[in-house]
Amino acid sequence: MRVLLATLAAIALAGCHSTGEAAPFTRTAAPVAEIKEMEPAIEAALAAARRVGPERVIVVFDIDSTLLFDPLGGPDLGDLKDSEPERFRPVERTLMYLKSLATTESDLVEDLAELERAGIVTYALTARGEDMRDMTERELARNGLTFPRAPECGPPLCVTRGTIPPEQVYTAARQVLGEAELQRLDFTRGRPIGVSGGVMNAAGLHKGVMLRVLLASLGSEFDTVIFVDDARKNVDHVQQAAAAMEQEVLVYHYLMERPEPPVPQEVRDQRWQEAVEAICLALSPVWCPSS
């Protein structure tokens, strides 16, 4: 028996890194659950709160087509994005400023209020850029969506006020995840982001990496993390990152049953073109073709 125990101990020691560092924590990521309404994610959060305590649970939502959507549909900017990418971004930003958004579900405000009453932290992690913060906060507030229990972001990510520069984002990610994990997730550079009022704006970045960096910067310990997003790429990225997270991570792919817009797409596109011509004639913003 002693020989067997010694052999097993030797095998265990041989599996450790020669540097003495512990092997990285890995596990098989839980499957992504597809939902057509928010209720399963809300119920999962409440169940986790009963199990581990509400202060140990956080629910992180995407915004566009998860919390808010454009009920009018809006124009299709796909051709502009492909043909004139340098114009697309400012035109898209202008369009977002003009839009009035609505909640994806009629009882969504009550759903978030239920999490608040239960003592559960909520946050938003959006692929919008920090340059869209004011319009984002405007539409969230106008629709009654708030994150009152969201902790303030601190180190290692939020060490300065205002927009966080790309190099600071990457440095924080490397500190939290380590080089090997960033390589596994193909995270090679940062971009300007912002975190304030329970909303992280992180355009163009791996949401799994940004979720882990955010969690490490909130100054709170969570046992259960629930993530909800309508974009398949984002839920896949969070699922990939969750394989190296010690928390219980529940990932939901929210497939909103979007109502049919009141007018056809060609009519929306024509109206937008007429609006662009009027705006350019009256104000001549820099994104107009003639500017």
* pLDDT tens-digit readout, 99-152: 999 999 999 999 999 999 999 999 999 999 999 999 999 999 999 999 999 999
pLDDT in tens, 2-46: 444 444 444 443 444 433 444 455 566 678 999 999 999 999 999
pLDDT by residue (tens digit) across 166-220? 999 999 999 999 999 999 999 999 999 999 999 999 999 999 999 999 999 999 9
What is the DSSP code (8-state) at residue 2? Answer: H
Pure H helices in 15-132: 39-52, 78-83, 85-98, 108-118
Residue 71's Cβ-side half-sphere holds a number of Cα atoms within 13 Å equal to 8
**CA–CA separation, 230 and 272 (whole Å):** 26
* Averaged pLDDT score across all residues of the chain: 90
Is 60 exceeded by the pLDDT of residue 244?
Answer: yes
What is the pTM assigned to this prediction? Answer: 0.88
Q: Which among 83, 79, 146 has a CA at the least distance from the CA of 110?
A: 146
Q: pLDDT grade, residue 160 (50/70/90)?
A: confident
pLDDT at 26: 59
Q: For the purposes of burial, counting CB atoms within 10 Å of the CB of 23, is it exposed (0-12), middle (13-18) or buried (19 or more)?
A: exposed
Position 24 scores a pLDDT of: 54
pLDDT digits 0-9 by tens, 257-277: 888 889 999 999 999 999 999
Beta strands in the chain (DSSP E): 33-35, 57-61, 68-69, 102-103, 121-126, 194-196, 199-201, 224-229, 248-254
What pLDDT, on the 0 to 100 scale, is given for residue 289?
Answer: 81
**pLDDT of amino acid 278:** 95
pLDDT score for 145: 98
